[in-house]
Amino acid sequence: MKLAQAGMLVTGAASGVGLACVTQFSACGTRVWGLDNDEQALETARAAVPGARFLRCDVSDPAQVEAAVAEVFADAGTIDIVLNNAAVLRDQTLVSRLGKRVKKHSIEDWSATLASNLTGTFLVAREVAARWLETRHKGVIINTSSVVRAGNAGQSAYAASKAAIDALTVTWSQELAVYGIRVAAIAYGFAETGMTSKIPPLFRERIRSGSTVGRFATPEELVAGVRFICENDYFAGRVLELDGGLRF
189 confidence band (pLDDT: 50, 70, 90): confident
* Dist CA 246 CA 148 (whole Å): 10
| Closest CA relative to residue 114, chosen from 170, 159, 54 | 159
Do the Cβ atoms of 113 and 40 come closer than 8 Å? no
What local confidence, expressed as pLDDT, does residue 218 receive? 87
What single-letter DSSP state applies at residue 217? B
- Active-site residues, by number, are 158
What local confidence, expressed as pLDDT, does residue 119 receive? 98
Do the Cβ atoms of 191 and 16 come closer than 8 Å? yes
The percent of residues above 70 in pLDDT, for the chain, comes to 96
Q: How far is CA 74 from the centre of its chain?
A: 23
208 confidence band (pLDDT: 50, 70, 90): confident
Q: Which residues contact 14 (CB under 8 A, 6 or more apart)?
A: 34, 36, 38, 41, 42, 44, 45, 54
Angle of the 120-135 helix axis to the 62-76 helix axis, nearest 10 = 40
Domain boundaries along the sequence of the chain: 7-242
Q: Which architecture does CATH list for 7-242? A: 3-Layer(aba) Sandwich (3.40)
Highest mean pLDDT among 62-71, 147-156, 185-194, 203-212: 62-71
Do the Cβ atoms of 138 and 179 come closer than 8 Å? yes
* Dist CA 168 CA 229 (whole Å): 17
pLDDT digits (tens, 9 = 90+) for 47-96: 999 999 999 999 999 999 999 999 999 999 999 999 999 999 898 999 99
What local confidence, expressed as pLDDT, does residue 216 receive? 81
pTM of the model: 0.92
What local confidence, expressed as pLDDT, does residue 197 receive? 65
What local confidence, expressed as pLDDT, does residue 7 receive? 98
pLDDT surpassing 70 at residue 151: yes
Do the Cβ atoms of 248 and 150 come closer than 8 Å? yes
pLDDT surpassing 70 at residue 231: yes
> Mean pLDDT score of the chain, rounded to an integer?
93
pLDDT surpassing 80 at residue 204: no
pLDDT surpassing 90 at residue 196: no
Q: Pairing relation of β-strands 7-11 and 31-36?
A: parallel
What local confidence, expressed as pLDDT, does residue 247 receive? 75
| Closest CA relative to residue 239, chosen from 186, 197, 200, 201 | 186
Higher-pLDDT residue of 198, 110: 110
Do the Cβ atoms of 149 and 185 come closer than 8 Å? no
- E strands, 24-94, where? 31-36, 53-56, 81-84
Taking residues 8-22, what's their average pLDDT?
Answer: 96
| Closest CA relative to residue 223, chosen from 26, 90, 53 | 26
What local confidence, expressed as pLDDT, does residue 198 receive? 65
pLDDT digits (tens, 9 = 90+) for 131-149: 999 999 999 999 999 999 9
- State which amino acid sits at residue 146: S
Higher-pLDDT residue of 206, 72: 72
